[in-house]
Chain A
C-alpha cells in the first residue's frame, strides 16, 4: 500500500466562477487574465467580507467601547491570528504586523532594524533577482549610514549562483532576498540560504510577495527572521500588507511611523511606544482590507496551498512545452527551464518585437500580460533586456488561457514579421 498522500485537486472552472471580474467579456473577447504576479483578481467572498464589514460593524478599532467598535476590533485581531496561522508564525498576536503592502513592510525593516543596526563597515547582501522594493530602501539607508551592499549573482538560467556565497557572506549583517522572482519565477533556496546566513552571523529578511500566494509557507521551517508580503497578490484587496518578524527583534526595534495607536504615553517631553504589534501600526489600519484578506486566506486554504502549487506547476509545464514547441527559438522564456524550479511566471521575449508592441497585440484578444521592467531593472540588465512581456498564472487560469496566449503571440509574430 502506498503511503504517498494524493494531493487534493480543484476544479478550475468552478474557481473561475467565484471571480466576478473573470466573467467579463472585454472588447477583445472573454478575458484571459495573465497578470496575477502584478495583482490577483478577487473572489466574491472577499468582496462580500469587506461589504459586510462596512454594512454591519464599520467603526474604528482599538478605541470605542460600543458594540460595533468592539466587533470591528475583534474581527481585525482575528484576522491577525488567521494570517499568522497561514504562514506558520509562532506568535501571531505579537509578530504579525499589518502594513500598506510588502513595499512598506520592507521599508519598515530597512528603516527600523537597519537604521539602528547598520553603519560603516557593515554589509547588506541582496540578490540580483530583487524587486526594487527590496533594493531601493537599502540604497536610501546606505546614503545615510554608509554600509556596503553586495549582490548574489545569477547563473545563465536566472538561478542564484551560490559558488562564492561564503565570501559574499563575510561581514554581512542581513541577507534580504526574494523567495520567488516576479520576473523569472525563480524559486530561491530560502531554507538553505538562511542556515548559511545564520551561520555567518547574519539575519534574513524574506520578500515573500510572490511565494506566499502560490505555495504553502512555513516560517519556522524556512528559519527566516522577517517576511514581507502583500494582500492584493493573494486574492485580497489592495492597501494591506503584512510584515512578520521575530518577536525579540521587533521588541528591540524603534517604531517606524509615528502617530496615533502606536504609543503607550505622550507628554510635552516625548512619547513611550506601545507594545507589539501596535508599536508598528500607527494610524487607523485598513480594517476592511484586513478583514478581506482574512477571507482570502480562508478561500486559499479551502483549495489547499499544496493543490495550488501543483496546479501552477502543471499549467507552467504545459505553457513551457506548448510555447517552446510552437515558437522554437523565435521566443525566449527567461528563467529556469523546469516547471518545478519556478513559479507560474513567464517572462517572454519574441524576436524582433518589443514587449510593449507584443502586449498591445495580445490586448486585442483580451489576453492581459504585463510589458516592462517589472520593477526589477538590475535583473533586466543581467538578463540583457530592457523589458519583457510577462504572463503569470494563478488558481483561475487554465490551458485555455495558455492557448489564447499562444494564438495571440502567433498573430503578433505575423503582424510584425518583416
Chain B
C-alpha cells in the first residue's frame, strides 16, 4: 500500500499551507471560470488575464478544496504565468500525462494545420514540470486524480472562453 508520504510530499503541503496567487482579478477584462468536482463538492475559480500576444499575464485562484486540488492549483498558477497559450496547453498535456490521462490533442478541432502541429510538438518538447513533479504520487491513489486535475481542466476552459471572446 502506498504510504501517505507518497501522496503528501512536503512541497504539496507547502503550497496547501501557503497557496500562491490566491484571490480575484477584475472580470472583465479577466475571464472568471468555475470548476466543480461533483464527487467531493470541491469548487475552484480561475481568473485569467490573457493579452493580445496570447500570453497569460496574470492568474488568480479562488474556491475551496483538498490539499491535492489546492496545491495543484497553486503550482499551476505559478507555472503558467507569462507562458503562451500553446505552452500552457503543452504543460497541461504533460501534467495530465503524468496523471495517466493521455490526450493526443487538447484542441476541440480534430485537425490541426501543419504549422499548429509543429508549434504543439515544439512546445511539448520544451515542457518542464518542475515542482509539479511532486504530484506524481497521486497516480497511486486513482480516486484523487480528479482532485489534481480540477484546476487544470478549469484553466483550459478559461483559456477557451478567453480566446473565444477575443
The interface of chain A, by Cβ under 8 A from chain B, is: 27-28, 354-357, 360-361, 364, 371-373, 377, 380, 386-387, 415-416, 418
Contacts and interface: CB of A to CB of B under 8 A. Distances in A.
Which 8 interchain pairs have the tightest Cβ spacing? Answer: A373-B41, A27-B1, A356-B66, A354-B66, A387-B41, A372-B40, A386-B41, A357-B67
Contact of B3 (A354, A357, A364, A386): A364
A213 to B, nearest CB: 24
Interface of B: 1, 3-4, 7-8, 13, 17, 39-43, 64-68, 70, 141, 144, 147
A372 B8 CA distance: 19
Contacts, number: 50
A28 B1 contact: yes
Contacts of A387: 40-42
Nearest to A371: B40
Given A354-B67, A386-B64, A418-B17, A360 B4 contact: yes
Given A364-B4, A386-B41, 12 more contacts: A27-B1, A28-B1, A354-B67, A354-B70, A360-B144, A364-B1, A364-B3, A377-B41, A386-B65, A387-B40, A415-B8, A418-B17
A386 B42 contact: yes
Contact of A357 (B43, B64, B66): B66
Nearest to A372: B40
B148 to A, nearest CB: 11
Given A27-B1, A356-B68, A372 B7 contact: no
A328 B4 CA distance: 25
A416 B70 CA distance: 14
B41 A372 contact: yes
Contacts of A416: 13, 67
A356 B147 contact: yes
B17 A373 contact: no
B96 to A, nearest CB: 20
Contacts of B13: 416
Contacts of A355: 40, 66
Given A28-B1, A354-B67, A360 B7 contact: yes
A273 B134 CA distance: 62
A364 B13 CA distance: 18
B144 A356 contact: yes
Contacts of A377: 41
Contacts of B17: 418
Contacts of A386: 41-43, 64-65
A348 to B, nearest CB: 15
21 contacts: A27-B1, A354-B64, A354-B66, A354-B70, A356-B40, A356-B42, A356-B67, A357-B8, A357-B66, A357-B68, A360-B4, A360-B7, A364-B4, A371-B40, A373-B40, A373-B41, A386-B41, A387-B40, A387-B41, A416-B67, A418-B17
B141 A372 contact: no
Nearest to A376: B41
Nearest to B67: A357
Nearest to B17: A418
A412 B21 CA distance: 27
B66 to A, nearest CB: 4
A369 B67 CA distance: 18
B71 to A, nearest CB: 11
Contacts of A361: 4
Contact of B39 (A364, A372, A380): A372
A394 B144 CA distance: 28
B56 to A, nearest CB: 27
Contacts of B1: 27-28, 364
Contacts of A371: 40
A60 B145 CA distance: 43
A380 B17 CA distance: 24
B74 to A, nearest CB: 14
Nearest to A352: B17
Contacts of B68: 356-357
Nearest to A361: B4
Contacts of B39: 372
Contacts of A354: 64-67, 70
Nearest to B18: A418
A135 to B, nearest CB: 15
Contacts of A27: 1
A9 to B, nearest CB: 37
